[in-house]
Amino acid sequence: MLPHSVHPFRLAGLLIPAVLACNVDSPMKFDWTEGPLADGLRLYEAGEFFTAHEAWENLWLRAPEPEKTFLQGIIQVTAAFHHWRHNNRLGTVLLLRAALRRLEGYPPGFGGIAVGLLCDDVRECLGRLEADEKECQLVTPRIQTE
C-alpha cells in the first residue's frame, strides 16, 4: 500500500500517476554528495540538462514510490530546460507543468531537496512563459539540497 494518494491524469494521451499528497519521510536514502544523484546535480548546475537527465534516469527507473514520482518531477524540470535550450517553448511549458504537478505534493525537504523553493522557481518560470513574453529570459530552477 502506498503512503500517499495517487491520482491519474492524462499528458499527451498517456495515463500518468501524480502525487497529490505525501506526508511521510522517504524510505529510500537520497545521497546528493556522491553517485548518480550527485553526478546529475552537478551536470544540472553546469547546464548539461540532457546528461543530467541521463544520470538520474536509471535510478528513477528502479525507485519505489513515492520516490519514483519525486525523481520523475526533478527529471522533468531538467528535460524542460533541455527543450528550452532547443527553442521548444511548448515542450518546456508542458514539462514544467507536469513537474510541478508531481513535486508540489511533497513535503519540504523530501529526498533532501528544498521542494518548496524548487516549486516556487518552476512557478516563476511558468509565469514568464505563460505571459507570452517573446524574449523571455528564464533562470534555471534551483535544485537545492537541505
Rounded to whole angstroms, how far apart are CA atoms 124 and 113?
A: 18
Proportion of the chain above pLDDT 70, given as a percent: 81
Mean predicted confidence (pLDDT) in 18-24: 38
Phi then psi for residue 33, to 5 deg, are -100, -20
Confidence band (pLDDT; 50, 70, 90) for 29?
A: confident
Measured in residues, the chain has a length of 146
Tell me how far the alpha carbon of residue 102 is from its chain's centroid: 7
Q: Where are the domains of the chain?
A: 4-130
Dump strand ranges (E) for 30-97: none
Rg (CA), the chain: 15
Supply φ then ψ for residue 141, to 5 degrees.
-55, 145
Fold of 4-130: Hyaluronidase domain-like (1.10.3450)
In order of 4, 74, 95, the CA distances from 69 in angstroms are: 11, 9, 14
- Contact criterion met (CB below 8 Å) for 99 and 73: yes
Q: pLDDT value at position 13?
A: 40
Q: What is the DSSP letter of 9?
A: E
